[in-house]
Amino acid sequence: MFKYVIQLIIGFLTLLMSTAISWYEGSGIIENSLEWKHSTPFSQLFNMELNNGQDISQLDYFVYAAKFQPFFPTIMIVSVIYIFIVLTFFIYRLNRQSAIILAGIISCVFIVISGIFFNSSTIGGNVFFWITAVSAIIFMCLAISLRYKKKIQCLYFRQNN
């Protein structure tokens, strides 16, 4: 259990650090008024009128950073993926069926997210598409392998009893 806690702490610290740096990098949208129309989906979702840079939603900072400076937003998503993998294996030790379901749900979520980034015109959008698409495949394979491992173990115990 201790090894899972240490890995989760490292994952969350990495997520926290990369989030802070991404937020700082994304604050550059305040000075770039030409991108307000294209990089502020959350401000537009909340029907906020953008008269100056202070009107931009803080969530839009991450969108801007992901589009034009994708390194730390990529570190954010990779640390989230790592946290999900560690949680899946931890839950697997407690309840195998729950871990299989969790891995399947995470895979479906990443499929939807990769669909959002599909055919993106920016470098950051393409990076996020590939990361989420590969992560969906990884979690799908993880769910299948956990399910298959469970069947093998059941067959093994039936033969030995």
Mean pLDDT computed over 106-114: 94
- The amino acid present at 66, given as its one-letter code, is A
- Per-residue pLDDT band for 158 (boundaries 50, 70, 90) equals low
Task: Report the pLDDT value the prediction gives residue 160, as an integer from 0 to 100.
Answer: 57
Q: Do the beta carbons of residue 132 and residue 113 sit within 8 Å?
A: yes
Q: How far apart are CA 161 and CA 156, in angstroms?
A: 9
Cα separations (Å) of 42 from 47, 93, 94, 153, 158?
A: 8, 39, 38, 48, 55
Q: Residue 54 is encoded by which pair of tokens?
A: 């202070």
pTM here is 0.82
Q: Is the pLDDT of residue 50 over 90?
A: no
Which are the contacts of 54, defined by CB distance < 8 A and separation ≥ 6? 30
Task: Report the pLDDT value the prediction gives residue 156, as an integer from 0 to 100.
Answer: 53
Task: Report the pLDDT value the prediction gives residue 123, as an integer from 0 to 100.
Answer: 85
